[in-house]
């Protein structure tokens, strides 16, 4: 099973809690939290909201979510220079992002994409997938589970 091979059932299992957390963190009605809603462009999230959401997800799902993990995992085995040049995502980098963030509507991946604007692609579903991946890692890891 590849890291992007997350089933709809796995996403659906975490979505209600993720949506509840995002609604609480962003101070909006839960009805606005749709899977393909962009956190920044549709829900108005700022950097402090991303921190708030990540810490709430960690507490709720008992997983550890290192910041910057999404981009690092998307980059995969590409070097930083292969992934971005002068602050702009390369063609190869954009292809990797499109493949890794396959929950994001394809038409949102537009070149040129500044590296600083990568978080604008993140949707509610992106964080659902992040939680599922972290849960898998926790389940597979030997020894004590994260608190």
* Interacting residues toward other proteins by CB under 8 A: 24, 27, 46-49, 51-52, 55, 59, 66-67
Q: How far is the CB of 134 from other proteins (least distance, A)?
A: 14
Please give the distance of CA 136 from its chain centroid, rounded to a whole number: 15
Q: How far is the CB of 83 from other proteins (least distance, A)?
A: 20
Beta bridge pairs of residue 123: 38
User: For 30, which DSSP code?
Assistant: G
Handedness of CA 49, 50, 54, 55 (dihedral sign): negative
Looking at the Cβ atoms of 64 and 99, the one nearer to other proteins is 64
Q: How far apart are CA 19 and CA 23, in angstroms?
A: 6
Q: How far is the CB of 32 from other proteins (least distance, A)?
A: 16
Q: How far is the CB of 79 from other proteins (least distance, A)?
A: 21
Looking at the Cβ atoms of 36 and 137, the one nearer to other proteins is 137
Looking at the Cβ atoms of 24 and 76, the one nearer to other proteins is 24
Rg (CA), the chain: 15
């Amino acid at each position: 099973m590849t890291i992007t091979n997350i089933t709809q059932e796995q996403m659906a299992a975490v979505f209600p809690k993720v949506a509840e957390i995002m609604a609480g963190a962003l101070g909006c009605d839960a009805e606005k939290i749709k899977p393909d809603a962009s956190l920044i462009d549709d829900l108005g999230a700022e950097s402090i909201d991303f921190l708030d959401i990540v810490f709430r997800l960690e507490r709720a799902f008992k997983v550890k979510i290192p910041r910057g993990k999404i981009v690092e995992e998307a980059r995969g085995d590409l070097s930083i220079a292969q992934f971005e040049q002068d602050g702009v995502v390369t063609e190869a980098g954009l292809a990797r992002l499109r493949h890794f963030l396959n929950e994001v509507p394809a038409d949102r991946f537009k070149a040129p994409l500044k590296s600083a604007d990568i978080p604008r692609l993140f949707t509610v579903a992106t964080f659902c997938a992040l939680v599922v991946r972290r849960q898998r890692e926790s389940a597979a890891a030997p020894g004590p589970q994260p608190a």
